[in-house]
Amino acid sequence: MTAKEFLRHIPLFQHLTIEDRERLAMSIRTQFLKKGEVLFRKGSEGNTLYIIRNGKIKISLASHLSDEVVLAIFSEGDFFGEMALLDGMPRSADATAIEQTELLLLKRLDFISFLNSNRDALQAILQSLSQRLRRTDDLLEDTCFLNVSARFAKKLVELAAAHGHQDGELVHIDLSLTQRDLASMVRATRESINKELRILREKGLVSIQENSIYIHDLERLKRRAR
């Protein structure tokens, strides 16, 4: 599938005419990342919008104590990096490939020109920023008012919705995540997540195979998230 054909399937670009999509595709470049490779660091110059053609990218923040907070995981069809392009400020977080990834790149001048000529795309960008801000608010609220068990169950439900593949009653979360990754997502220690996973396995709610999570009873897991 060419870049032009791929763009047609992404909501951000669906309202473009064929001619506009062709012009935009001519401005796009491709970049490949290996698993674990860093795309950019917090504080680096932000002059590119990234669209994931295939693979997965982790957006995170690191502390001075080498702890990490995972803010989001993006996969095929998602875009990111738009905030720095809009406000001209440096990158606000780190971006790392969690598996082999192919990216489409749109430079700032091309991106701004694209937005100026397409109100639907501008609205989609603003909606995306709003949704990501709301997710950050939800994360802060969960950290303040939910215990580790509820936060972890809620995160598994969210990952299942975003990255899950269902086979009957079984839901496979198509991400290779370590216990440290899971802990950083819910503001918990690796030891506490290890304990929660053991409890969920004993209850028959989840199983783990090679860092992949399988949910056996999504409805019961949702009840634990309340």
When pLDDT is averaged across residues 200-224 and rounded to a whole number, the result is 91
**pLDDT digits 0-9 by tens, 38-96:** 999 999 988 999 999 999 999 998 876 557 888 889 999 998 988 887 788 899 899 99
When pLDDT is averaged across residues 215-225 and rounded to a whole number, the result is 92
Residue 173's nearest CA partner among 160, 154, 183, 158 is 160
69 bridge partner residues: 61
- Residues belonging to the chain: 226
% pLDDT > 90, the chain: 45
Rounded distance between C-alpha atoms, residue 137 and residue 131, angstroms: 10
Question: Which token pair is 158?
Answer: 């969210």
94 bridge partner residues: 60
CB 188 within 8 A of CB 152: yes
State residue 64's pLDDT score.
Answer: 64
When pLDDT is averaged across residues 212-226 and rounded to a whole number, the result is 91
Look at the pTM and tell me if it is higher than 0.85: no
Question: Which token pair is 200?
Answer: 């969920």
State residue 66's pLDDT score.
Answer: 59
Please check the confidence at residue 8 and state whether its pLDDT lies above 90.
no
3-state secondary structure (DSSP) of residue 102: strand
CA 165 to chain centre: 16
**pLDDT digits 0-9 by tens, 159-177:** 999 899 988 889 999 888 8
Strongest mean pLDDT among 6-10, 15-19, 105-109: 105-109
First to last CA, the chain: 42
All domains in the chain, ordered by first residue: 3-143 (2.60.120.10), 146-224 (1.10.10.10)
**pLDDT digits 0-9 by tens, 93-149:** 999 999 999 999 988 888 888 778 777 777 777 787 788 778 777 777 777 778 999
Please check the confidence at residue 9 and state whether its pLDDT lies above 90.
no
